[in-house]
Amino acid sequence: MSAIAVTADRRPAWRRLIGFNLLTGIVLGIVGWLIGDEIGKAIHAPSLDYYSDSAGQNDISILLGYLFGVIGFLIGLGFANYPVRRLLGHPPTLAEHEDEGEGVGRYFRLCTDHKVVAIQYIIGIGVFFLVGGINAMLIRTELLQPNTHVFGANQYLTLVGMHGAMMMGMMTSVILGPFANWLVPLMIGTRRMAFPRIEAFTFWLLMAAGVILVTTIFFGGFQTGWTGYAPLSDQGTAGYDAYIGFFALIGVSMCLLGFNLLATIITMRAPGMTWSRLPIFVWSVVATAVLMLLAAPMLIATLLMAALDRTAQTAFFIPGNGGSPYLYQNLFWVFGHPEVYIVALPGFGIVLELLPVFSRKPLWGYRLAVAGMLGVSLLSFFVWQHHLFVSGINADLRPFYMLSTELISLPTGFIFLCAMGTIWRGRIRFTVPMLFCLGWVFNFLIGGISGVFLSDVPSDVTTHGSFFSMAHFHYTIMGGLVFTLFAAIYYWGPKMFGVRFNDRLSKIHFWSLFIAFNSTFAPLFALGMLGMPRRVVTYPANLQPLNDWVSVSAFVIGLSMIVFLVNLVWSLVLKREPADPNPWRSKSLEWQLPTPVPLHDFDTFPVFDEDPYPYGVERPGPPAFAPAGGAG
């Protein structure tokens, strides 16, 4: 298969556990935590105990514990080896542990093969997606009854915060992590990312971040929700430090992911892959990566300010000492609104990438779609104060933010128009990925229309901060991101994993998810209009029937996810029916490769002479290239 001679590892199993791998990483992570904790305790002096700390915890030692823990974890994984070699003047290399065979072991250590990193991402993020999902189930369990409580108020808010942070933080990479890392090199005709070590680094950092967020439960949780508003954060228990650690690492990971993707797409396109032939998914990656690269640093800075307020007595957000809570809100949303589009944009790309395949037509309005994505990307930096319409910040600027927010619906409208143009007179096939794309169309339409009410100040006065806005962003994020994520999994899964999914289970998954999703979130618009604020542990008794309906529907979403897991286990582990190399008869490059994709992707680089949508015309053939291990 592979062009590279692979030497099988014949060492006994226990021997193979020793070395730079996940196990060592965990051990050194714990050691690092202990070291950081001790240093923190040594620094912590009575003079720094200026602000009373309700939990009796020492924020400095906890934050240093996280910092050193992450450093230990990364050293254990082997991330320090190359930097140390470089420190000693050894010349640069591009990869690490790529050629270690086909074993399972490479998934548990630093590996710079973009296909391995993609699989690591999908499994690793999947685990935390599950955690976030279980949080949601627990939240809905609590809300079954207004006055009988399953959880305490603090536990409940911690669940809400963890759910939000997990879904808004870690899930920013849920499409770019697995699919951009896997697809971008194959789509633009290269064998790797520009900086393969950074690619692996973003993944392992994300895993460390996820674990840190979960540790909040040992330190009293956090009460601030995923937005972490100051000055509530300043009085928060030590669990808030976990939020800071989590989100700051997510920010670093996001920034580097965007950086790496941009560098790759800008410099490493194969001959003939001009900007106007770039697959539309790659364009959506460009638009997203720009936002990641530029918006995430602001988040990191903001969280570091919050950390300084909690540990070093600065007063960025403390009004009595010359700081301002408005500062936090501004900085957070300058990051936060682009962040919303970081979550949404890859979905646009997936829908527009898949519709041509299942309509058997070229993408309609390619330039318009590109303009739409870049337009959304650019405009998203100018709308942040629409989160603050009633906060009293710059009230005079509200007409401007109303306009800029509503202007975003123009480029978003382009995406819809291109989707509509693409299916017109096509030969539409209702495969599972196609169903998820159509689900996106419906959900995102509702999400977009409900957004109009939130962008309009008079209407926003009632809907702001209520379940209405909660329903709105679940329609755009869950209805947008999660549906396109599943579209991508069902579409590219056969290529990535080399197996076919069970069609019946996949269809059950789609229909149950689609119906339960709408049945969960549509009533939330009503609940918001009826006066139910977000993040409350109790509510008026007359809202109970509606809340119960929502909760039961949410449990059906949970069941639907179980169907998906069963499908995964059945198809990937038990049945393992080999997939057709090109089951969808797609004309784009990644489907012309053998399944599974060989270690070095291509022997010769492809030469492109048109975009990947030559449907309805006689094409001379797939791009000229030799797949790895092929004829060459």
Residue showing tokens 């001009």: 274
- Nearer CB in complex with other proteins: 223/560: 223
From 8, 45, 88, 104, residue interacting with other proteins (rule: CB under 8 A)? 88
Does position 427 interact with other proteins (CB under 8 A)? The reply is yes
- Nearer CB in complex with other proteins: 276/569: 276
Would you give the distance in Å from CA 619 to the centre of its chain?
Answer: 36
- Nearer CB in complex with other proteins: 324/519: 324
Q: Which residues pair with 533 in a beta bridge?
A: 466
Does position 355 interact with other proteins (CB under 8 A)? The reply is no
- Nearer CB in complex with other proteins: 208/331: 331
- Nearer CB in complex with other proteins: 175/532: 532
CB of 570 to other proteins, least distance (A): 24
DSSP letter assigned to residue 626: E
Nearest in space to 115 (alpha carbons), one of 488, 489, 497: 497
Which amino acid does the sequence have at 140?
A: R
Piece in contact with other proteins (CB under 8 A), picked from 9-17, 119-127, 383-391, 588-596: 383-391
Other beta carbons within 10 angstroms of residue 409's beta carbon come to 17
Q: x/- binding map, residues 406-425, to other proteins, per CB under 8 A?
A: xx-xx--xx-xx--xx-xxx
| Sign of the Cα pseudo-torsion (67, 73, 76, 77, in order) | negative
From 453, 490, 521, 564, residue interacting with other proteins (rule: CB under 8 A)? 453
- Among positions 46-65, residues that touch other proteins (CB under 8 A) are 50-52, 54
**Which H/E stretch holds residue 605?**
strand 602-607
- Among positions 310-349, residues that touch other proteins (CB under 8 A) are 312-316, 318-327, 330-331, 334
Would you give the distance in Å from CA 139 to the centre of its chain?
Answer: 21
- Among positions 195-214, residues that touch other proteins (CB under 8 A) are 195
The whole-angstrom separation of Cα 622 and Cα 272 is 13
Does position 620 interact with other proteins (CB under 8 A)? The reply is no
- Among positions 236-275, residues that touch other proteins (CB under 8 A) are 255, 259, 262-264, 266-268
Under 8 Å between Cβ of 600 and 115: no
Other beta carbons within 10 angstroms of residue 632's beta carbon come to 11
Burial 267-283 (b: 16+ CB within 10 A, else e): ebbbeebeeebbbbbbb
Piece in contact with other proteins (CB under 8 A), picked from 56-64, 221-229, 346-354, 493-501: 221-229
The whole-angstrom separation of Cα 102 and Cα 598 is 10
CB of 574 to other proteins, least distance (A): 28
The whole-angstrom separation of Cα 556 and Cα 515 is 9
- Nearer CB in complex with other proteins: 222/246: 222
CB of 565 to other proteins, least distance (A): 29
From 28, 60, 157, 351, residue interacting with other proteins (rule: CB under 8 A)? 157
CB of 304 to other proteins, least distance (A): 6
CB of 561 to other proteins, least distance (A): 26
- Nearer CB in complex with other proteins: 349/362: 362
Residues counted in the chain:
632
The whole-angstrom separation of Cα 603 and Cα 628 is 4
The whole-angstrom separation of Cα 284 and Cα 351 is 10
The whole-angstrom separation of Cα 548 and Cα 534 is 16
Residue 611, sorted as left (phi over 0), alpha (psi -120 to 50) or beta, turns out to be beta
Nearest in space to 215 (alpha carbons), one of 197, 198, 231, 238: 238
- Nearer CB in complex with other proteins: 26/263: 263
**Which H/E stretch holds residue 248?**
helix 239-267
Can you read off the two tokens belonging to residue 182? 């896997």
CB of 387 to other proteins, least distance (A): 11
CB of 529 to other proteins, least distance (A): 5
CB of 505 to other proteins, least distance (A): 20
Under 8 Å between Cβ of 623 and 609: yes
Piece in contact with other proteins (CB under 8 A), picked from 37-45, 177-185, 203-211, 464-472: 464-472
From 429, 565, 569, 578, residue interacting with other proteins (rule: CB under 8 A)? 429
Secondary structure (3-state) at 382: helix
CB of 562 to other proteins, least distance (A): 29
From 40, 231, 493, 494, residue interacting with other proteins (rule: CB under 8 A)? 231
CB of 301 to other proteins, least distance (A): 4
Under 8 Å between Cβ of 234 and 318: yes
- Among positions 580-619, residues that touch other proteins (CB under 8 A) are 585, 600, 602-605, 614-617
Give how many residues touch other proteins by CB under 8 A: 161
